[in-house]
């Protein structure tokens, strides 16, 4: 269903070029179609800021409910920004004050980069918890990704994340653990999910706190889990929103950090991501870079374009299905809330069987 371009965000022009249905705010006002207002709190670093906008908007726009999706993008203080990214935010993003005034039906909170051992030491911790507190009282459902998941689980359930011995990085097979939950209705029972993190909150700790784990991986741990009520808070430890090239771009940034002297060791390849042809090419490039660095020469450019056509996306369809289930339930709940507001005598008991 169509996305509504509320602020002439450049990402919407990109999405429209890809074939997504995008309406101007003026055109949307002329259509007699229900609206759902979805917030996107984008905390990703500058290099991934606009890509994250597009990734989550694609998943929202893929929902098959007959509704206009008004996506309200904002961020919080305490995240270091370069001039270009800050200008982008100042020009196209809404403020949290505006978000609170206008209200939301649902909220998505992205991951973020961190610089401290404990999340509560991050400069964005207090602004982020302010958003949490408001959303808990005012938003039908909140969906958290990666770092946002770790932060909200820590705040609400007092489970701190654990530092892993090595980065959980790559594409991992996952299994649905509860086929009856509406969020995983009619999806593949086995599917892949990308992960990119140094920390984890473990399935046993989550379940002991009363959270319901719906999807998990033997290698990567719990991925999709929900608050005890089954729907108010939805958590991802992985990145189902990622494009096929997202891990490639991350790997390229890590290689460039090694070239620039920020890393002492050449970065390992993401697990289960590159095919044998790509691996052979990247191993050859690694030898070239290490030789160039040793001899204080400038290495050839990273072969990004040559690798792109060999990448598979083995998670997007399932991610779309989960988002469709999530937004579909929000559609039902908000529709029921509106009916009750118009007809106060109606008092259905748990219409979503959650």
Q: Is the pLDDT of residue 347 over 70?
A: no
Active site residue 146: yes
Is 163 in the same domain as 263?
Answer: no
Is 317 in the same domain as 194?
Answer: yes
Residue 55 corresponds to which tokens in the numbers above? 């990734």
Report pLDDT digits (tens) over 51-77: 999 999 999 999 988 899 999 999 999
The confidence score (pLDDT) of residue 351 equals 36
Is 211 in the same domain as 301?
Answer: no
Is 8 in the same domain as 149?
Answer: yes
Is 146 in the same domain as 280?
Answer: no
Q: Is the pLDDT of residue 345 over 50?
A: no
Q: Is the pLDDT of residue 1 over 80?
A: no
Tell me how many domains the chain contains. 2
- Which of 57, 94, 239, 254 is labelled catalytic? 239
Averaged pLDDT for residues 225-234: 96
| 349 in any annotated domain | no
The confidence score (pLDDT) of residue 340 equals 53
- Which of 57, 63, 146, 278 is labelled catalytic? 146
What percent of the chain has a predicted confidence (pLDDT) above 70?
94
- For residue 130, give the CATH number of its domain: 3.40.50.880
Report pLDDT digits (tens) over 158-178: 999 999 999 999 999 999 999
pTM: 0.93
Structural domain span for residue 303: 246-308
The confidence score (pLDDT) of residue 337 equals 62
Is 136 in the same domain as 236?
Answer: yes
- Which of 50, 200, 241, 254 is labelled catalytic? 241
Residues with Cβ within 8 Å of residue 194, at least 6 apart in sequence: 170, 171, 172, 238, 239, 240, 242, 246, 247, 273, 315
């Amino acid at each position: 269903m169509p996305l509504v371009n509320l602020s002439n965000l450049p990402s919407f022009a990109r999405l429209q070029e890809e074939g997504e249905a995008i309406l101007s705010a003026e055109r949307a006002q002329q259509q007699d179609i229900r609206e759902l207002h979805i917030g996107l709190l984008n905390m990703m670093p500058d290099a991934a800021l606009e890509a994250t906008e597009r990734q989550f908007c694609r998943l929202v726009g893929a929902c098959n409910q007959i509704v206009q999706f008004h996506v309200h993008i904002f961020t919080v203080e305490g995240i270091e920004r370069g001039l270009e990214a800050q200008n982008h935010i100042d020009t196209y993003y809404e403020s949290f004050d505006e978000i609170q005034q206008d209200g939301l039906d649902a909220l998505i909170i992205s991951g973020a980069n961190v610089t401290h051992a404990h999340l509560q030491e991050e400069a964005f911790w207090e602004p982020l918890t302010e958003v949490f507190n408001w959303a808990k009282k005012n938003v039908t459902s909140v969906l958290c990704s990666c770092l946002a998941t770790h932060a909200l689980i820590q705040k609400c359930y007092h489970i701190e994340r654990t530092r892993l011995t090595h980065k959980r990085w790559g594409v991992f097979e996952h299994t649905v653990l509860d086929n009856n939950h509406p969020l995983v209705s009619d999806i593949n029972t086995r599917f892949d999910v990308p992960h990119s993190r140094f920390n984890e909150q473990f399935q046993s700790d989550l379940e002991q706190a009363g959270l319901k784990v719906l999807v998990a991986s033997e290698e990567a741990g719990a991925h999709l889990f929900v608050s005890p009520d089954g729907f108010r808070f939805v958590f991802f430890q992985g990145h189902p929103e990622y494009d096929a090239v997202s891990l490639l771009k991350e790997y390229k940034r890590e290689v460039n950090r090694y070239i620039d002297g920020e890393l002492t060791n050449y970065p390992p390849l993401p697990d289960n991501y590159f095919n044998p042809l790509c691996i052979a090419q990247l191993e050859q490039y690694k030898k070239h870079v290490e030789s160039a660095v040793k001899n204080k020469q400038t290495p050839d450019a990273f072969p990004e374009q040559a690798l792109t056509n060999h990448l598979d996306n083995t998670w997007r369809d399932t991610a779309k299905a989960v988002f469709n289930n999530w937004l579909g339930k929000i559609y039902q709940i908000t529709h029921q809330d509106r009916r009750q507001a118009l007809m106060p005598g109606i008092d259905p008991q748990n219409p979503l069987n959650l």
